[in-house]
Amino acid sequence: MRPSFLKLNAPYLAAIVIEPTPELTIANILNGEHEGAEAFMVDIAAWAPDCLTKETLTRLFHCCGRPMMPLCYRSRNLGADKVSDDDRAELMIRCIDAGAAACDIMGDLFAPAPHELTRDQKAIDKQKKLVDRMHALGAEVLMSSHIYNEYVPGDAVLDHMFEIQNRGVDIAKIVVSANTDDELIEAFRTTVLLKKSLKVPFVHLCNGKFARIQRYMAPVLGAALTFGFREYTAHATGPQPIIRNARAVLDELSWHQDY
Ligand SMILES: O=C1C[C@@](O)(C(=O)O)C[C@@H](O)[C@@H]1O
């Protein structure tokens, strides 16, 4: 049976895996599972394009029984100059055919837009059809917006996440910034607001100076997950904690709001 993100006990620890080859990706996942990751976001944008076959993707998505979600954002070998969004959508479908539990649709798929959320009705209709198609294949769907390096107040984050939720996805995700202690407090308030207001599970993450502490607290306040890297590498740098550390923190932080 296809693994599921929605059936995991929230909050859970999901590893972000960014490796240049399928073999290193699979090794990273197997090691990461051993260290306590419960799910995997697998960034395949660094792979050589000829590796993105159904056969290799099937090997990837069956390397362990944990739910996995490919990340096919517009970067590196999947940059907008190399791959159209229609082909990106087909790549995600190929990943589902190969066993991916879920896919991550960018909020501006089919019409690049500020704050990674399109308001173009034609693009939105196309996104909704893609969501239906993914559901029909048995996969779960997350929609994400990455608003890097920008502080976004809680009410605006909530409006944004309502818009994502309205597109029919199973998980809503947003990444913003917290660079001052006031922004950190607002980020905590925002997670609670999202928890109270959204019907779907959500991912709420900050980058910036206060990213690490926000990423430990968000799951405690109602976010579905926090992300970790297995280790920092040339491909994986960022505010995400190391899986082993995040595992210990989530295990010891024995208070959280239930779904
Ligand atoms: O979607 C995400 C989440 C992320 O942006 C973060 O802030 O943790 C990091 C990216 O590598 C990943 O693709």
Distance 198 CA to ligand 1 centre (A): 21
Tokens of 112: 């690049």
Exposure string over 239-252, b if 16+ CB within 10 A, otherwise e: bbbebeebbebbee
Contact criterion met (CB below 8 Å) for 203 and 230: no
Distance 257 CA to ligand 1 centre (A): 24
Instruction: Tell me if 4 is assigned to some domain.
Output: no
Q: In the prediction, which pLDDT does 257 show?
A: 65
Distance 51 CA to ligand 1 centre (A): 22
The tens-digit pLDDT sequence of the chain (259 residues) is: 999 999 999 999 999 999 999 999 999 999 999 999 999 999 999 999 999 999 999 999 999 999 999 999 999 999 999 999 999 999 999 999 999 999 999 999 999 999 999 999 999 999 999 999 999 999 999 999 999 899 999 999 999 999 999 999 999 999 999 999 999 999 999 999 999 999 999 999 999 999 999 999 999 999 999 999 999 999 999 999 999 999 999 999 877 666 5
**Helices 54-61 and 22-34, packing angle to 10 deg:** 10
Q: Which atom of ligand 1 is nearest to the CA of 236?
A: 11
Return the CATH number at 68: 3.20.20.70
Instruction: Tell me if 3 is assigned to some domain.
Output: no
**Residue nearest ligand 1's atom 7 by CA:** 175
Which H, E and C letters describe 202-256, residue by residue?
A: EEEEEECCCHHHHHHHHHHHCCCEEEEECCCCCCCCCCCCEHHHHHHHHHHCCCC
Give the HSE-up count for residue 182: Cα atoms under 13 Å, Cβ half-sphere: 3
- Identity at 45, one-letter amino acid code: A
**Residue nearest ligand 1's atom 4 by CA:** 175
Alpha carbons 5 and 38: distance in angstroms, whole number = 9
Q: Which distant-in-sequence residues (6+ apart) come within 8 Å of 152 by Cβ? A: 160, 174, 176, 177
Q: Which distant-in-sequence residues (6+ apart) come within 8 Å of 193 by Cβ? A: 154, 155, 157, 158
Q: How many C-beta atoms surround the C-beta of residue 120 within 10 A?
A: 14
**Residue nearest ligand 1's atom 3 by CA:** 175
Query: Which of 175, 215, 225, 229 best tests ligand 1's pocket when mutated (most atoms within 8 Å of CB)?
Result: 175
Which is it for the CA torsion 249, 16, 167, 102, positive or negative?
A: negative
Instruction: Tell me if 103 is assigned to some domain.
Output: yes
User: What phi and psi values does residue 188 have, to the nearest 5 degrees?
Assistant: -60, -45
Q: Which atom of ligand 1 is nearest to the CA of 215?
A: 8
Alpha carbons 52 and 111: distance in angstroms, whole number = 24
Distance 141 CA to ligand 1 centre (A): 16
Instruction: Tell me if 2 is assigned to some domain.
Output: no
Alpha carbons 103 and 123: distance in angstroms, whole number = 18
SS3 category, 71: strand
Protein residues whose CB sits closer than 6 Å to any atom of ligand 1: 16, 43, 71, 144, 146, 175, 205, 207, 227, 238, 240
Q: Structural domain tally of the chain?
A: 1
Residue with tokens 């990943």: 95
Alpha carbons 161 and 124: distance in angstroms, whole number = 14
Q: In the prediction, which pLDDT does 253 show?
A: 84
Instruction: Tell me if 228 is assigned to some domain.
Output: yes
Distance 22 CA to ligand 1 centre (A): 19
Tokens of 221: 């306040």
Distance 226 CA to ligand 1 centre (A): 10
Instruction: Tell me if 107 is assigned to some domain.
Output: yes
Instruction: Tell me if 89 is assigned to some domain.
Output: yes
Instruction: Tell me if 257 is assigned to some domain.
Output: no
Q: In the prediction, which pLDDT does 255 show?
A: 73
Alpha carbons 83 and 36: distance in angstroms, whole number = 34
> Which residue range forms the structural domain that includes residue 134?
12-251
Alpha carbons 65 and 109: distance in angstroms, whole number = 29
Distance 68 CA to ligand 1 centre (A): 15
Q: In the prediction, which pLDDT does 175 show?
A: 98
Q: In the prediction, which pLDDT does 258 show?
A: 64
